Amino acid sequence: MERRVRVRFAPSPTGPLHIGGVRTALYNYIFARQNGGDMILRIEDTDSRRFVPGAEEYINESLAWLGIGIDEGVREGGAYGPYKQSERRDIYREHVKALLDAGKAYIAFDTPEELETARQEIPNFQYDASTRGNMRNSLTMPAEEVERLIADGAQYVVRFKIEPDREVRVNDLIRGEVVVNSNILDDKVLYKSADDLPTYHLANIVDDHLMEVSHVIRGEEWLPSAPLHVLLYEAFGWTDTMPSFVHLPLLLKPVGNGKLSKRDGDKLGFPVFPLEWHDPASGEVSSGYREKGYLPEAVVNFLALLGWNPGDDSEVMSMDDLISKFSFSHCSKSGAKFDFKKGIWFNHEYLGKTDNDTLATLFMPVLAEHGVAGADPAYVAKAVGMVKGRADLVPDLWTQGDFFFKAPESYAEKDVKKRWSADTPRIMEELIGVLEGIEDMTSANAEEIVLGWISEKGYHLGNVMNAFRLAVVGACRGPHMFDITELMPKEEVIARIRRAIKEIPAPEK
């Protein structure tokens, strides 16, 4: 029988979710939807020293913003909960005990100092079959002593007993079969008595099994842990339900070599986090895609193509397109360069396609930042509709369309020089009269009347129209002039021409 597809995104709440983690979540979500499966969000918070307040909320908010839906999780509930590892201590304790009882794990009392000494005395020391016989653990100590130490409250760890000289096979859907010799693995710590908590490895495997995870889709940085995970599945006797592994390629720096880091973003001016993050300890603020004015659909589209391609030349793809086209066979093994400029390009494409009302809503906070309060949403929608084709990010709508909301404070010098001649003030006065006489300011009608007047008077079309634009916009830029004057109240247009006549010094004849 085909196994039900169940995947999990399993972040540790140790800080803001990195953009690479977002891509992992996205691929999990896409794969779940494509197969009619379940998407689980599991919070891996067993390392209490690295817990950061606000990180879990940040994860939830980021996924919601991007449209990455969760079927089972802390908030969603589900039949396999709890979905937060710190609430599953009893489960882990029971499983650690099972491994100990079966002789697949052992108790070790070595102190950090003793381990350090071993490291100094033995070259390339690794706690494994070749060294464990010389260490202080339940394999080398009499059972009574082990019991006595535990009864006395001595701190210990439980280590996984890895059999030497085994070939461990990891079945990876991107990389094929990865084979490693068990000699390179150390007897990993699975549990620490000090905080009565399992380590990542144990909790991760136990939960993947109990939650019936069918595919483990995660970043390449976890590939070295996969052989250990396979051995744990075996040790528990769960080989039949071992998930398929999928290790996604690393995200690489846009320029140069190596892994993408926050520093690359700071240097080149792009965010590496989905949402703005305010570090609770340092107060440092890191920029986010949402606050920078990216659209979630654009971020999703951009991230989906970092490490996967659709096999044809499609670029702009909705979540539904991605769900229908996605396949691990088109994922690459090698790292994906984080081409943030491509991300900007995607945003430009999506901005241009977004309906004006939606854009207006996104633009309102930008207007407020520029001191524009109480703008009529219908007016804003029409204004952004005229300039959205020229914008990459939401704040660019301001750079492109600021004049819809405030009169020019200055006039572009080079345009003045080129277009404002000694005659211009007089012609602009005349234009005011023409505009005052127009009843219907719709674009085509106003255009016909104004151009008719220009040609009747024998004026230079380019000079008059550019002076008109200079007066209303402040520079020779922006959408079609009569589209602007259709939207703007006529009194405002006229007031701006009057102001320009007054403010722009007319050159000598």
Question: Residue 222 or residue 405: which is nearer to ligand GLU going by CB?
Answer: 222
The DSSP result for 38-68, as a single string, is: EEEE-B----GGG--TTHHHHHHHHHHHHT-
137 binding ligand GLU? (CB under 6 A):
no
Nearest Cα neighbor of 44 from 36, 34, 55, 32 is 55
Question: Residue 243 or residue 335: which is nearer to ligand GLU going by CB?
Answer: 243
Closest separation in Å from C-beta 24 to ligand GLU: 7
3-state secondary structure 84-151: EHHHCHHHHHHHHHHHHHCCCEEEECCCHHHHHHHHHHCCCCCCCCCCHHHCCECCCCCHHHHHHHHH
Closest separation in Å from C-beta 203 to ligand GLU: 9
| Angle (CA) 331 334 335, round 5° | 95
Q: Check residue 179 and give left, alpha or beta (phi > 0: left; psi -120 to 50: alpha).
A: beta
198 binding ligand GLU? (CB under 6 A):
no
Among 28, 62, 204, 466, binds ligand GLU (CB under 6 A): 204
Closest separation in Å from C-beta 37 to ligand GLU: 16
Pairing of the two strands 176-181 and 105-108: unpaired
85 binding ligand GLU? (CB under 6 A):
no
Cβ-based burial of 291 (10 A; exposed 0-12, middle 13-18, buried ≥19): middle
Closest separation in Å from C-beta 3 to ligand GLU: 19
| Angle (CA) 258 260 264, round 5° | 105
Question: Residue 10 or residue 66: which is nearer to ligand GLU going by CB?
Answer: 10
Of the candidate spans 10-18, 163-171, 391-399, 461-469, the one that interacts with ligand GLU by CB under 6 A turns out to be 10-18
Question: Residue 163 or residue 212: which is nearer to ligand GLU going by CB?
Answer: 212
Residues 23 to 52: which contact ligand GLU by CB under 6 A? 44
- For ligand GLU (CB under 6 A), the number of binding residues is 7
Counting Cα atoms < 13 Å in the Cβ hemisphere of 311 gives 10
Alpha-helical runs (H) found in 374-460:
377-387, 396-401, 413-419, 424-436, 443-457
Among 5, 6, 7, 11, binds ligand GLU (CB under 6 A): 11
218 binding ligand GLU? (CB under 6 A):
yes
State yes or no: cis peptide before 82, omega within 30 of 0: yes
> Cα separation of 198 and 201, whole Å?
8
Among 7, 12, 109, 348, binds ligand GLU (CB under 6 A): 12
Beta strands in 265-361 (DSSP E): 277-278, 285-286, 336-337
Residues 393 to 452: which contact ligand GLU by CB under 6 A? none
483 binding ligand GLU? (CB under 6 A):
no
Closest separation in Å from C-beta 10 to ligand GLU: 4
Beta pairing partners, 285: 278
Closest separation in Å from C-beta 77 to ligand GLU: 21
Residues 95 to 134: which contact ligand GLU by CB under 6 A? none
222 binding ligand GLU? (CB under 6 A):
yes
7 binding ligand GLU? (CB under 6 A):
no
Instruction: Copy the structure tokens of residue 182.
Output: 């068990």
Question: Residue 170 or residue 394: which is nearer to ligand GLU going by CB?
Answer: 170
Q: Which residues are catalytic?
A: 262
Residues 227 to 286: which contact ligand GLU by CB under 6 A? none
Specify whether the CB–CB gap between 29 and 23 falls below 8 A: no
Question: Residue 47 or residue 315: which is nearer to ligand GLU going by CB?
Answer: 47
Question: Residue 12 or residue 301: which is nearer to ligand GLU going by CB?
Answer: 12
Specify whether the CB–CB gap between 189 and 158 falls below 8 A: yes
Closest separation in Å from C-beta 185 to ligand GLU: 17
20 binding ligand GLU? (CB under 6 A):
no
Question: Residue 232 or residue 386: which is nearer to ligand GLU going by CB?
Answer: 232
Of the candidate spans 9-17, 103-111, 293-301, 362-370, the one that interacts with ligand GLU by CB under 6 A turns out to be 9-17
In the sheet with 189-192, reading across from the earlier edge strand, the strands are 105-108, 157-160, 189-192, 197-198
Closest separation in Å from C-beta 236 to ligand GLU: 16
Alpha-helical runs (H) found in 211-255:
226-236
Q: Kindly list the residues in this chain that would bind ligand GLU in the complex (CB under 6 A).
A: 10-12, 44, 204, 218, 222
